[in-house]
């Protein structure tokens, strides 16, 4: 069969608009297309391929488990799921883990648990969920409504109720809205899709204090920021604030779909038998791979390496900006970085993305004004250097018009 980009238009629902090139092979931080052209990957499958493409330890884990058990259903448990859950519990604040297949599903579970907990413990009046404008929590109808970008949630009929939004980093606006009716506050400890926005220390501590005051649960969506991305195993560890519920996915499987919700025993007990479930959640293949991901990433070498590589990116990007004057700031943390465009280039992030692809570099955008980088956490320093050379060529082209 002749597989071309035209075939996409024939057989796929048109909700995506993928690039013209089709990748067929990846190794480390490089990808090759159908014609054998090599690209450097600064996109990481949107912060998913945290150990690059085809990491030998992950290939081995998948192959080994693939010879043993693929699927059982949650009528039975399995060894990889239990080992992975134990490792997650040992490494975090959590006592209990629920497995799903994606970040949206992990967030759906977190929101349902928060509502169930508040109902059981405090009564029906306590149902308000507060989240932040420009936040992103997934594409199910509940999670997309909690997400703070109405362009994603409008146009599908009546939305789930009891959900309010305030500005990120604006503690006063959150305080004005909170009351004894607040069930939960959901936030990203580093906003991803919304433009790579870090929380101020005062803000994140203030959110925790308000949740304590009103007996509301604090849910951290660490789907994009978690699993080593910020240079900590989970971003909350660098913020000095502990959530009540944490969600994780993307990098957790290193490219194999898996999501998880982590929480305390006291909160977890409200998801009794039958209250929530997932056919594939905790399947042996995903858990075997994710276990290796955690083993590799949760080490001083990798986590310290992320902080070192962040500096290489920042220095290189600042140098490019000194020459071409197109970025207002380089922001983010660890290897989730954003180049925010200045007024002169406002709204043109996609132009930089397309120019980069022409220079054989894969990157991302976070809205119309931010170019986003979320590469492998173990990307070789020389690939960073070469990728930045390609990015500079792309910037030069956009600036030259």
Give the total number of structural domains in the chain: 2
131 and 211 fall within a common domain: yes
Mean pLDDT of the chain: 97
101 and 36 fall within a common domain: no
Dihedral of CA atoms 199, 205, 211, 213 in degrees, nearest 10, equals -150
Closest CA to 44 of 399, 387, 393, 280: 387
Q: How confident is the model at residue 401 (pLDDT cuts 50, 70, 90)?
A: confident
What pLDDT, on a 0 to 100 scale, did the predictor assign at position 68?
98
Pairing relation of β-strands 336-341 and 327-333?
antiparallel
12 and 68 fall within a common domain: no
CATH code of the domain containing 27? 3.90.1150.10
Q: Kindly report, residue by residue over 369-396, the tens digit of the pLDDT.
A: 999 999 999 999 999 999 999 999 999 9
Asked if residues 378 and 52 have their Cβ atoms less than 8 Å apart, the reply is yes
Cα 19 to Cα 21: distance, rounded to the nearest angstrom: 6
Q: Where are the beta strands (DSSP E) in 19-95?
A: 23-27, 30-33, 38-41
Q: Kindly report, residue by residue over 172-206, the tens digit of the pLDDT.
A: 999 999 999 999 999 999 999 999 999 999 999 99
Q: How confident is the model at residue 76 (pLDDT cuts 50, 70, 90)?
A: very high
* Segments forming the whole domain that contains residue 292: 57-297
196 and 158 fall within a common domain: yes
What pLDDT, on a 0 to 100 scale, did the predictor assign at position 299?
98
Tell whether the model's pLDDT for residue 213 goes beyond 90. yes
Residue 155 carries which DSSP code? T
263 and 292 fall within a common domain: yes
313 and 233 fall within a common domain: no
Q: How far apart are the first and last CA of the chain?
A: 39
116 and 181 fall within a common domain: yes
Domain end marker among 280, 297, 314: 297
CA distances (Å), origin 152, targets 146, 195, 331:
11, 15, 24
Distance of CA 123 to the CA centre of its chain: 33
Interval 6-14 mean pLDDT: 95
267 and 386 fall within a common domain: no
Return the number of other C-beta atoms located less than 10 Å from residue 273's C-beta.
6
What pLDDT, on a 0 to 100 scale, did the predictor assign at position 245?
98
Q: What is the pTM of this model?
A: 0.97
Domain end marker among 241, 273, 297: 297
What pLDDT, on a 0 to 100 scale, did the predictor assign at position 198?
97
Angle at Cα 225 formed by Cα 366 and Cα 104, nearest 5°? Answer: 80
324 and 228 fall within a common domain: no
Give the CA count within 13 Å in the CB-facing half-sphere of 164. 17
CATH code of the domain containing 68? 3.40.640.10
289 and 217 fall within a common domain: yes
Q: Kindly report, residue by residue over 319-366, the tens digit of the pLDDT.
A: 999 999 999 999 999 999 999 999 999 999 999 999 999 999 999 999
- Burial label for 41, CB within 10 Å (0-12, 13-18, 19+), is buried
The residues with which 356 forms a beta bridge, in sequence order, are none
SS3 164: strand
207 and 312 fall within a common domain: no
Task: Please give the structure tokens belonging to residue 119.
Answer: 């109902």
253 and 127 fall within a common domain: yes
Dihedral of CA atoms 258, 262, 266, 272 in degrees, nearest 10, equals -10
Interval 306-314 mean pLDDT: 98
Domain end marker among 277, 297, 317: 297
Residue 224 carries which DSSP code? T
Radius of gyration of the chain from its Cα atoms, rounded to whole angstroms: 21
């Amino acid at each position: 069969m002749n597989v071309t980009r035209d075939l996409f238009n024939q057989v796929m629902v048109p909700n995506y608009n993928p690039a013209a090139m089709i990748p067929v092979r990846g190794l480390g931080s490089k990808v090759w297309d159908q014609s054998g052209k090599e690209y450097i990957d600064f996109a990481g499958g949107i912060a998913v391929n945290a150990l690059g493409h085809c990491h030998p330890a992950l290939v081995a884990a998948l192959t080994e488990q693939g010879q043993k058990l693929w699927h059982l259903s949650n009528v039975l448990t399995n060894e990889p799921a239990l080992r992975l859950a134990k490792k997650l519990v040992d490494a975090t604040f959590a006592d209990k883990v629920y497995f799903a297949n994606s970040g949206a599903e992990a967030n759906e579970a977190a929101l349902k648990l928060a509502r169930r907990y508040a109902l059981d413990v405090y009564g029906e009046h306590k149902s308000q969920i507060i989240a932040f404008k420009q936040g992103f929590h997934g594409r199910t109808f509940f999670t997309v409504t909690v997400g703070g970008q109405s362009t994603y949630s409008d146009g599908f009929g009546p939305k789930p109720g009891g959900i309010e939004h305030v500005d990120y980093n604006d503690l006063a606006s959150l305080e004005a809205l909170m009351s004894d009716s607040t069930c939960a506050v959901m936030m990203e400890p580093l906003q991803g899709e919304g433009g790579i926005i870090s929380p101020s220390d005062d803000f994140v501590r203030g959110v925790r204090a308000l949740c304590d005051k009103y007996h509301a649960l604090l849910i951290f969506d660490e789907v994009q920021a978690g699993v080593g991305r910020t240079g900590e195993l989970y971003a909350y560890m660098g913020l000095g604030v502990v959530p009540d519920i944490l969600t994780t996915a993307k990098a957790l499987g290193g490219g194999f779909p898996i999501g998880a919700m982590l929480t305390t025993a006291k909160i977890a007990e409200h998801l009794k038998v039958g209250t929530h479930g997932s056919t594939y959640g905790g399947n042996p293949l995903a858990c075997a791979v994710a276990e290796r991901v955690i083993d590799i990433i949760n080490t001083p070498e990798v986590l310290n390496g992320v902080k070192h590589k962040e500096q290489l990116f920042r220095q290189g990007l600042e140098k490019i900006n000194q020459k071409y004057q197109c970025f207002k700031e380089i922001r983010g943390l660890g290897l989730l970085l954003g180049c925010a465009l200045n007024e002169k280039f406002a709204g043109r992030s996609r132009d930089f993305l397309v120019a980069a692809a022409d220079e054989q570099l894969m990157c991302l955008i976070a809205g119309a004004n931010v170019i986003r980088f979320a590469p492998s956490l173990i990307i070789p320093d020389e690939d960073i250097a070469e990728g930045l050379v390609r990015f500079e060529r792309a910037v030069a082209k956009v600036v030259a018009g």
